[in-house]
Amino acid sequence: MASDQTEHTVLIVYASAAGSTAQIGEFMARRMRDAGLHVRVEPVDRAPDPGCFEAVVLGSAIHNGGFLPGFADYIERYAQTLKQRPNWLFSVGMGPALRGPVGAFFKRLTPPVVTECRTSAASKGYRGFAGVVVRPPELRNRLLIRLFGCPYGDLRDWAAITAWADEIVSWIDDALPATRLPATRDPADTTIGEGNSGPA
């Protein structure tokens, strides 16, 4: 028997310079679609108005201590809308992969831009994921990375990303009311008016 419930709609917006954050966004989208949600995933420069979706996930790579250009602006521009939509924020950087005494200290710190955006959007949750760390050409940057104890390579923890996507799906399924299509419609009635045009 066909279900009369529509899928919940989710927008995933990401900012990515080299592609690792984009892949996390696409991965989360696939995971959430497999769970029955209707998910649109877009880079921030093509992202639509979040007000057209029931829930939103926002994620950016961290470069030089901040989000990528345009990402914080998007959150600021739609802050009022985002405050009225359940939304979640993630960052992708070296943080979770830092090791050693200096690394352990910096690992505990949340970049100020994360706190600002989380407050602006009233995000329900935040995760910092490790990204892909490539050996930089500049000696100074290589020394900093060594000081922080960060290894090179693809450090993404797909199990942690999967678990977070599933947490968001559970929240949406539990907290958002099911959207129901009109139960019946007289096939002879061809007018599109009140009561016939879509979900109540």
Within a 10 A sphere around the Cβ of 106, how many other Cβ atoms? 15
Length of the chain: 200
- Does residue 19 interact with ligand FMN by CB under 6 A? yes
H/E element holding 38?
strand 38-43
User: Across the strands, what pairs with 180?
Assistant: 5
Half-sphere exposure of 90 (CA within 13 A, CB side): 27
Residue type, 177: P
Beta-bridged to residue 53, according to DSSP, are none
Tokens of 197: 């045009």
Q: Which is nearer to ligand FMN, 21 or 37 (CB)?
A: 21
**Binding of ligand FMN at residue 61 (CB under 6 A)?**
yes
Q: If binding is defined by CB under 6 A, does position 139 make contact with ligand FMN?
A: no
CB of 151 to ligand FMN, least distance (A): 12
Applying CB under 6 A, among 79, 132, 144, 181 the residue interacting with ligand FMN is 132
Q: Which two tokens stand for residue 76?
A: 């600021």
Count residues near ligand FMN (CB under 6 A).
19
Contacting ligand FMN (CB under 6 A), which of 32, 39, 131, 169? Answer: 131
Restricted to residues 143-172, the positions that interact with ligand FMN (CB under 6 A) are: none
Site residues (vs ligand FMN, CB under 6 A): 16-22, 61-65, 92-95, 131-133
